[in-house]
C-alpha cells in the first residue's frame, strides 16, 4: 500500500479508517466479485435492519459510480468513502 509522508495511504486515510471502509465494502459485496450493485446494497441494509427504498439506494450508488457502468467498483467505493471521511464530500 502506498503511503504519503503524513502516514496516510493513497486515499488519505489512517490505517484504522482504511480497514473500516474495506470491511464495509466486503460486507456489502455479497458475491465477492469486487463490485457493489443496488441489490447487494439493499440486502446489506435489510440484514442490518435499516429500511430504505430502491430510489434512495440508486441515488447513493449513482454518486459512487464514477464511470456510470451501473455498479460500484472497489476503487470507486474507496474514493467516495475516503472523501466522506476527509470531509470533502457532503
Q: What is the residue extent of each domain of the chain?
A: 15-85
The stretch 50-56 carries a mean pLDDT of 90
- What gap in Å lies between CA 15 and CA 12, rounded to an integer? 10
CATH number, span 15-85: 1.10.238.10
The stretch 73-83 carries a mean pLDDT of 94
Rounded to two decimals, what is the model's pTM?
0.82
- What gap in Å lies between CA 42 and CA 83, rounded to an integer? 23
- Pick from 68, 79, 86: nearest CA to 25: 79
The stretch 31-58 carries a mean pLDDT of 93
Instruction: Kindly state the cell numbers that stand for 31.
Output: 458475491
Number of H helices, E strands in the chain: 4, 2
Are 80 and 89 contacting, i.e. CB atoms less than 8 angstroms apart?
yes
Amino acid at each position: 500500500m502506498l503511503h504519503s509522508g503524513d502516514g496516510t495511504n493513497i486515499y488519505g486515510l489512517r490505517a484504522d479508517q482504511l480497514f473500516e471502509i474495506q470491511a464495509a465494502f466486503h460486507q456489502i459485496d455479497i458475491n465477492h466479485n469486487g463490485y457493489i450493485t443496488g441489490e447487494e446494497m439493499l440486502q446489506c441494509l435489510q440484514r442490518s435492519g435499516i429500511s430504505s427504498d430502491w430510489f434512495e439506494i440508486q441515488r447513493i450508488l449513482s454518486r459512487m459510480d464514477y464511470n456510470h457502468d451501473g455498479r460500484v467498483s472497489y476503487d470507486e467505493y474507496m474514493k467516495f468513502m475516503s472523501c466522506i471521511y476527509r470531509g470533502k464530500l457532503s
